[in-house]
Structure formats: structure tokens, C-alpha cells
A and B are shown apart, each in its own frame.
Chain A
């Protein structure tokens, strides 16, 4: 009986060892997906408070048009933007967690309106997130024309 219990225990421990890292990994992917959704919502709403929480102090934020911003420049420019966001979706999103870094790629699909004119933006984006303590923060971003 003891031997059976021991075997069962060994089996359980090896099962847990095999499954738990994969589980932790997928949990982190879910956390990054959640951070991406929070970033999307903050971009749509131009929410400075959310940007403060989601973006690393050391971020480098590159636009497809070549402009590169640090955190304060990014927030200032987002708040100063006079166009009205009509919709913003991220499609084709892939998330790869590797230790305390996460690589996200997606397509940014935005519709905005300025002075009665509708603008559609469709660009490819690379985002690298860094886990700072328990929180995923955006560390590097570069958009590119498709």
C-alpha cells in the first residue's frame, strides 16, 4: 500500500512539474493579453492615468511615420491629438512570453475623424513588454507601414 501511495505521489509530482510551467506560461500570456486590451482601451479613450500605469518609465515608442517618443512625450502627444477616435481594434495578435519579457505583434486598425474627415490607419506593430515586479509594462514599441 505504501509503495502504491509513493508511486502515486511520484507520478503526481512529475505530472505537476511537467504541467505547471506550461500553465504559468499561459497565465502570463493571458496577463499580457489583458495588458494589451488595457492599452488599446487607453489609446481609444486617450486615458493618461492608464498610460501612466501601463507604460514603463524607459519606454521607446516609435510611430510608423518615424517619430520616436519617450513616456512623457507619448502621453502629451496622445492627449493633444484633436482627432476623435471612432474605433480601434488590434487584429492578428500573437503573444510570446519569454521569462520577464513578452513579445507582441499585431495589426493596428484605427478609424478617427478630424474636421469632418475620416482617417483609417492600418499598420503593423511590434511591442515588447517588461514585467516590472508583478506588472507588465510596455517597454518598446515600433509601428511600420504595411
Chain B
């Protein structure tokens, strides 16, 4: 697989990932997350796979839109780093908000598919 193809596949995986958050679609995460994923919020909260999915499904946060803006992906064999801004419009406890969060994600190619291994958001 060429790098161009990898980049297209990873960009698509990131998009599917954010669509699954927006749609609160637990099944859609299954092919996108490694078993050992670690998911870190900018607040310092760290979740494993089950905790992350449970948090996404929590009805108190609704995403009208969510996507990775200004995305740069770099590749090294079966591993990739995606840095981008998690952007979008949400509603928390009925209060509208905007997300503009810097994110680093490490993805791993398993069986031909890109899966999220580690994620950390940070505010500065």
C-alpha cells in the first residue's frame, strides 16, 4: 500500500471515528479501536475502551457536528500519528458549546485496518 493510500485510509478512519461520536454509535467504534486503547481528555481524565464508549453514549453531551480540522498525518510502517483540532458544535446539559481542542492520536494498522491505540487532547 502506498503512503497516499495510507493517508486516505487514515483520514477516513478519523472521520468515521468522529461520526461515531456524533451518532453515539457504539458498534461503529469496534473496528476503529484497539483493545488496549488509552483515551485522554484535556482535563486529565483517562479512559480505556469500555469507559470511552460509555462516555460517548452518555446522553448529556450531544454533538451537532464534530470533525478533525487542520489534520496532519505522519506514517511509520504500521503506525501513524494524526495531529488535528477536534472541532465542532456541541450541547452539554442543554448548553451550546464549540470545540476547538488540540489532539494527538496514534493509530495502528491491524489486519489492514487503522485502529486507534492512543489519544491525548490538550489545552494551552
Contacts and interface: CB of A to CB of B under 8 A. Distances in A.
Interface of A: 56, 58, 60, 62, 64-66, 68, 96, 98, 101, 103, 105, 124, 126, 128, 130, 139-140, 142-146
A29 to B, nearest CB: 13
Interface of B: 34-36, 38, 40, 42, 44, 46, 74, 76, 79, 81, 83, 102, 104, 106, 108, 117-118, 120-124
B124 A142 contact: no
A142 B118 CA distance: 10
Given A124-B40, A140-B106, 5 more contacts: A126-B118, A126-B120, A145-B123, A145-B124, A146-B44
Contact of A56 (B38, B42, B76, B83): B76
A142 B122 contact: yes
A24 B124 CA distance: 39
Contacts of A62: 83, 104, 122
B122 A101 contact: no
Contacts of A105: 38, 40, 46
A60 B106 CA distance: 10
A139 B121 contact: no
A140 B118 contact: yes
A68 B74 CA distance: 13
Given A98-B36, A128-B117, A139 B122 contact: no
Nearest to B42: A144
B104 A60 contact: yes
Contacts of B79: 101, 130, 139
A68 B124 CA distance: 13
A107 B121 CA distance: 15
A60 B73 CA distance: 11
B106 A128 contact: yes
A64 to B, nearest CB: 6
A96 B76 CA distance: 20
A145 B122 contact: yes
Contacts of B38: 96, 103, 105, 126
Contacts of A130: 76, 79
